[in-house]
Amino acid sequence: MNSTDTLSAGLRALPNKVSSFASTQAAWRFYKNESVTLTKLHEPLLIAAHNNIDRHCSAYALCVHDWSRLNYRKHTSKLDKYQMTHDTDVGYDLQSSLILSDQTGQPLAPVAQRLVTAEGSYATYQENELSETVENHLNEVTHCIKKLEEQSFSKPLVHIIDREADSVAHIREWEANQYHWLTRARKTPMVEFKGASMPCAQVANALHFEKSRQVNYHGKQQWQWVSEACIRLTRPAKPSQKKQKNPAIPGVPVDVRLVVSRILSDEGDVLAEWLLMTNVLTVEASEIALWYYWRWQVECFFKLLKKAGHDLESWQQETGLAIAKRLLVVSMACVTVWEVAVAQGKKAEAFRIFLIKLSGKQMKWGKSFTNPALLSGLWVFLSMQEVLDCYSTEELADLRETAQDFFSM
């Protein structure tokens, strides 16, 4: 549960009578133990996902897939890190799949994690703990989707992916397997609209928009306008051209739903625009736009794992496998924080206020709490309880007198 920082990124021991070194050594043995597998560590997160989907989802469960680079450029002890896109990006590539409520957008549980190292990839959904074959992002996320669909959640999953998923080959594969999906489209690829072939952005300009809701855009309230159309994808798939020139691959036409979301100023200027494609037909266009807006929750999850919470990029574990195991443990802490954040009732509200006081963090004006602050406060509260359980009243009184002696100096 403890949030860490760069200078103390290891396990923070509870203030009981066991030495900090003993706690650190126990954690090292735990992550090193071969019987502690990623599949076993992931079981509580899957259970939380099943339970929370029943409680918080209505017609669908939103499953957001995204990637984040873990930079360990200065960690010389990690021998399985590798060079990523830029010269300074040396470390691991993390793929996460996060379940959200289709009613509120609240995060419920991460249901898949995959860490790519120089030796291969470690994933919670692989049969073998280490897979030496490393696929590109969309091939791997398609494999992940297949494994998640086998989980038989009580609500159908809608897989939400950013603009990288505007790949007609993968869309055809998802359609063939009857997966529900939502992705952001690029502006330039050609689509068929009313019998004519044109760029996706040109289709958007031909539509009639309706005012949907007010949203916060760069700190100011602006109106969101939404429109939709039926389009057909007929273009051939173009495999990666990085290593060799591969021929285009024709495929069957795919009928999809185009939902266009625009943020307009009071003067009518387009401040932002999202071209969204999906095969979900039973939901209002304005709700589809809201679902994609909630995709940002996965970025908040990465933020909670990194500098705003657990400081993932400062962890001292020496292998990708150990990092992956610890990542699953702290993911359970994130699920706990999300439950505290959305709990209803006076007791829950009083508990959040108490945790914010313990965290010592300041909130923005009008904001009562943040997830990183709740995480910090929970650690302090657990530490307080551990002290009361492990030290007698007399021992605490003696320690207090010792502290007052130092204060008097």
The DSSP code sequence of 216-274 is: EETTEEEEEEEEEEEEEE-PPB----SSS-PPPB----EEEEEEEEEEE-TT--EEEEE
φ and ψ of 222, to 5 deg: -130, 160
| Sign of torsion over alpha carbons 121, 66, 70, 356 | negative
Distance, in Å, from the CA atom of 250 to the CA atom of 352, rounded to the nearest integer, reads 55
H/E element, 121: strand 120-123
Both 4 and 62 in one domain: the answer is yes
Q: Domain range holding 391?
A: 346-408
Give yes or no: residues 210 and 72 share one domain. Answer: no
361: DSSP letter: P
Residue 339 lies in a domain: no
**169 within some domain:** no
Tell me how far the alpha carbon of residue 74 is from its chain's centroid. 25
Burial profile 266-305: b = 16 or more Cβ within 10 angstroms, e = fewer: eeeeeeeebbbbbbbeebebbebbbbbebbebbebbbebb
CA 128/CA 353 separation, integer angstroms: 45
Structure-block tokens of residue 264? 């307009």
- How many Cβ atoms from other residues are within 10 Å of residue 192's Cβ? 17
On whether residue 211 sits in a domain, the answer given is: yes
Q: Say whether both 118 and 42 belong to one domain.
A: yes
Calpha distance 17→158 (Å, rounded): 48
The reply to whether 217 falls in a domain is yes
The 3-class SS string of 161-207 reads: ECHHHCCHHHHHHHHHCCCEEEEECCCCCEEEECCEEEEHHHHHHCC
> Splitting the chain (409 residues) into consecutive groups of 10 residues, what average pLDDT does each group show?
62 73 83 89 96 95 96 91 82 96 96 94 87 86 95 96 92 95 93 92 93 86 93 86 71 94 90 94 94 94 91 90 94 95 94 92 85 92 90 91 88
Based on the domain organization, do 67 and 38 belong to the same domain?
A: yes
The verdict on pTM exceeding 0.85 is yes
Predicted pLDDT of residue 343 = 92
Residue 286 placed within a domain: no
Is the CA virtual torsion 118, 149, 279, 215 positive or negative?
A: negative
What's the confidence (pLDDT) of residue 247?
81
- Residue 261 and residue 310 in one domain: no
pLDDT of residue 177: 95
Whether residues 153 and 24 fall in one domain = yes
List C-alpha distances in Å: 300 to 9, 45, 106, 116, 371. Answer: 20, 18, 11, 21, 9
* Same domain membership, residue 229 and residue 307: no
Can you give the pLDDT at residue 364? 82
114 and 8 share one domain: yes
* 380 and 324 fall within a common domain: no
**How many structural domains compose the chain?**
3
In 3D space, the residue among 259, 302, 372 whose CA is nearest the CA of residue 64 turns out to be 302
